[in-house]
Amino acid sequence: MAKQQQEVRDLQEGSYVMIDDAACKINSYSTAKPGKHGSAKARVEAEGVFDGKKRSLSQPVDAKIWVPIIERKQGQVVSVDGSDMQVMDLETYETITMRVPEDQDVSPDDNIEYLEMDDQRKIV
């Protein structure tokens, strides 16, 4: 999996983080003041990029954490076959098969944007 390590303190709302081995987009980031004891902690609430599941973590701000590398790509729909569609990557011109999202109508020649991490993709 494409990922890199960061400190919790470098996370921010809108960026990505791995929680429970799932790539998540951060919805909220808050920190607790530590007073005279312990270290500052951060709390992250996030939503799975590919499964939509809400997850949270609470860690010291200097803890190391994995951040997934997610690419935003452009593609063009080549053909639609039932619930699957063929999409051509507009950079590499390779053709990939993707599931048609339930809430969207797509037809050939549509340009779409999607997020890609390894072999997981999600249309935005």
Binding stretches for other proteins (CB under 8 A): 19-20, 28, 30-35, 41, 43, 45, 54-59
Query: Which residues are registered as beta bridge partners of 22?
Result: 19
Provide, rounded to whole angstroms, the least separation between the CB of residue 32 and other proteins. Answer: 5
Q: What are phi and psi of 9, to 5 degrees?
A: -65, -20
Provide, rounded to whole angstroms, the least separation between the CB of residue 35 and other proteins. Answer: 6
Provide, rounded to whole angstroms, the least separation between the CB of residue 103 and other proteins. Answer: 23
Nearer to other proteins among residue 49 and residue 85 (C-beta) = 49
Query: Which residues are registered as beta bridge partners of 105?
Result: none
Nearer to other proteins among residue 63 and residue 100 (C-beta) = 63
For tokens 């809108």, the residue is 14
Nearer to other proteins among residue 9 and residue 41 (C-beta) = 41
Gap between the Cα atoms of 54 and 101, Å rounded: 20
| Cα–Cα separations (whole angstroms), residue 74 to 49, 84, 95, 118, 124 | 17, 18, 12, 16, 10
Provide, rounded to whole angstroms, the least separation between the CB of residue 8 and other proteins. Answer: 10
Gap between the Cα atoms of 121 and 73, Å rounded: 10
Nearer to other proteins among residue 35 and residue 82 (C-beta) = 35
